[in-house]
Homo-oligomer: A and B are copies of this chain.
Amino acid sequence: MTPPKSIKRSAIPPASAAGRRLPDRRQGVTLADVARLAEVSEITVSRILRNHGPAAPATRDRVLAAVRKVGYVPNRLAGGLASSGSKLVGVIVPSLTNIVFPEVLGGIRAALDGSGFQAVIGVSDYDLAVEEQLVASLLAWRPEAMIITGFQHTAAARAMLDGSGVRIAEIMEIDSTPIDLAVGHSHWQAGFDTGQYLLGRGYRRFGYVGHDWVADHRARLRYDGLVAALADAGLTLLGSSRCPGASSTAAGRDQLANLLESHSTLDVVVFSNDDMATGGVFHCLAAGIVPRSDLALFGFNGLDIGQALPTPLSTMRSNRFETGRTAVEHLLRQRERPAAPAIIDTGYQILPGATA
């Protein structure tokens, strides 16, 4: 041990723009400090900071100056508790690495912007048990609304959501009955329409390349729709290849290679989404297969990357940003749960591209 020669502390710089002589008791400039400095009561400071109730301009200036001087940051835990209103919206998505969900969050943030509300994000990793924990954990912050992906929840999660009394939006799909509000599009129908579109373009020998259905239930719905469309035309899938785990470009590339090994006569392959389809295009490029003329490829989502490919991907655009934005708009417009659940369809559009 060195002799006790005045340890050089982190040297909280007395300047740091906020001003000198912060109240000694680290960990807490409170409303009371500001009120004392401005020589008004706490409630007056509170009202001025929230623009709530009248205030004389002189008082306002004095208070704001004091706030700046001591570097006051309101304590939302206290504020939320006192007013029983957190100004929070809980959001649960299954993933952030699938670019679709950051895009949904973009829409959510856009709609929240200026409303005074803030999103708290949870990521479930496509795991319903994790999702259940997240529901409890987010609800514990007393959000004023919740946005959650899909309809698949544990019974406990559903009970908590329902029992919370706050508005709930279930987004990204509309193929079931929501607790309160659903915003998204029909994945079954999208799959069906994909099938009809490709049949209309003359394809008859269909293959499918996909990823894990247990986690990504919506990919399964699209598959079912596709198969139904083929059945209507008296056809079936001639071959399919699915990988365990999440979708990715690498997986799409590998799975297509795998599928073609045993099914060389396909004339079109439908992928579970654009990530997989992009990988499929990569395989074609590497193997000297010319997209469309040798083999047609079709994706889902309409991601930017697919459209930047040497041959733009033929796919279906889902409106992710819109979905997030619309959900928030509806949730904030009416703060009480409506009498009956509502469903909003944000639709999808075929992007013709050049691979099918």
Interface residues of A (CB under 8 A from B): 7-10, 12-13, 16-18, 22, 26-28, 71, 73-78, 80-81, 84, 86, 96-97, 99, 102-103, 105-106, 109, 118, 120-121, 123, 136-137, 139-142, 155-156, 158-160, 162-165, 180, 248-250, 253, 278-279, 282, 285-286, 304-305, 307-310, 337-341
Contacts and interface: CB of A to CB of B under 8 A. Distances in A.
B8 A339 contact: yes
A97 B86 contact: no
Nearest to A15: B159
Given A96-B96, A121-B121, A75 B81 contact: yes
Contacts of A139: 73
A254 B282 CA distance: 20
Output the residue of A26, A142, A308 with the most chain B CB within 10 A.
A308
Given A10-B337, A77-B86, A96-B96, 7 more contacts: A7-B339, A8-B340, A9-B339, A10-B339, A71-B163, A74-B140, A76-B77
Contacts of A9: 339
Contacts of A156: 17
B73 A140 contact: yes
Contact of A75 (B7, B8, B140): B140
20 contacts: A8-B339, A10-B337, A10-B341, A12-B163, A16-B162, A16-B163, A26-B165, A27-B84, A73-B160, A75-B142, A76-B142, A77-B77, A77-B80, A78-B81, A96-B105, A96-B106, A97-B102, A121-B121, A282-B309, A305-B305
Contacts of A180: 10
Contacts of A141: 76-77
A250 to B, nearest CB: 4
A78 B81 CA distance: 6
Contact of A310 (B17, B27, B282, B307): B282
Nearest to A338: B10
A130 to B, nearest CB: 10
A2 B36 CA distance: 56
A103 B140 CA distance: 26
